[in-house]
Amino acid sequence: MSAADRDAVSTEVETARAGAARVAREREAAGDWRGLADARRRQADLARSAGDLDQAEDHLRAARSLYIMLDDGYWAARVLASLAEIRLSRGDYQKAAELSNQAADGIPGDTDALTTLAYAEWQAGSPADAEMTFSLVLHWDADTVGALAGRGQVRADLGSYSLALDDLDRALKFPLDPDAEADVHSARALALAGLGRAADAQSDLAESLRLRPGRPRTKRRADRIATLLTGAPSRG
C-alpha cells in the first residue's frame, strides 16, 4: 500500500470514528441504552482499526457495563471475547485466557472465544492445553481457519509433524492475513523438515520470510529446521 493509500485509509477511519462518536452522543442524549451500547462497540472496532487499543478497551468496557445493565448476557460475553482479543494482541496472555474463559462460559460453544482462549493458552506456555482447546473449536466447526492454523502450529512445535501438516494444508485453503500466513508457512516448513522433506521445508520457510521478513517466530522455527535438517531424528 502506498503512502497516499495509507493516508486515505487513515482519513476514512478518523471520519468514521467522528461519526460513531456523534451517534453515541445522540443515543446517550435520547436515553437509548441499547443503541448506546451498540455504538460503543462500533467505536471500539474503529479504535482498533486505528491502532488505538487503549480507547478500544475503554469503549468495550463501557459497552459491557450497558449490556449488563440491560441483562443481555450474550452481548456482555461477546464484549469479553473482544477484550480478550485485544489483551492477546498486547501480549497479556494470562489476562486474555481469563477473559476468553469468561466469554466461553457466557456463550457455550462460541468458536471465537474458544479460539482466542487456545491462542492465549499456547502463548502462555501451555501448548497441550491449547491443542485440546483448538480441537474443541474444530469439533464445533471443522472449518474455523484460526483454529486450524493454531492447532497446526502447536502440533508442529510439539513434534506431531504429520498431524500438523494436515491442519496447516487445510488452513492455507482459506484467506489469511500476512502475519498468520507467514506463521502457517513457517510451521509447515518445520513439519516438513521433521518429516525429512528438506527441499519442501526450505520452500515454505522462504515463503514465510518473504511475507514477514523479521518475524521472531519464523526465526525460532528456522533454527529448529536447521537442526532437524542436519541429522536430528524426526517424529511423525
Query: CA–CA separation, 146 vs 187, rounded Å?
Result: 14
Q: Is residue 148 part of a domain?
A: yes
Query: CA–CA separation, 157 vs 144, rounded Å?
Result: 20
pTM of the model: 0.83
Q: Is residue 100 part of a domain?
A: no
Closest CA to 71 of 112, 20, 109, 37: 37
Query: CA–CA separation, 205 vs 225, rounded Å?
Result: 9
Q: Is residue 68 part of a domain?
A: no
Q: Is residue 57 part of a domain?
A: no
4 versus 214: which is more confidently predicted? 214
Q: Is residue 218 part of a domain?
A: yes
Query: CA–CA separation, 87 vs 73, rounded Å?
Result: 21
DSSP class of 212: S
Q: Is residue 137 part of a domain?
A: no
**Total residues belonging to the chain:** 236
Q: Is residue 98 part of a domain?
A: no
Q: Is residue 189 part of a domain?
A: yes
> What are 115-137's pLDDT values in tens digits?
999 999 999 999 999 999 999 99
pLDDT band at 149 (very low <50, low <70, confident <90, very high): very high
Q: Please give the tally of structural domains in the chain.
A: 1
Write the CATH number for 230: 1.25.40
| Residue 154: domain span | 143-236
> What are 47-85's pLDDT values in tens digits?
998 999 999 999 999 999 999 999 999 999 999 999 999
Q: What is the pLDDT of residue 235?
A: 45
| Cell numbers linked to 4 | 497516499
> Is the predicted pLDDT of residue 35 greater than 60, yes or no?
yes
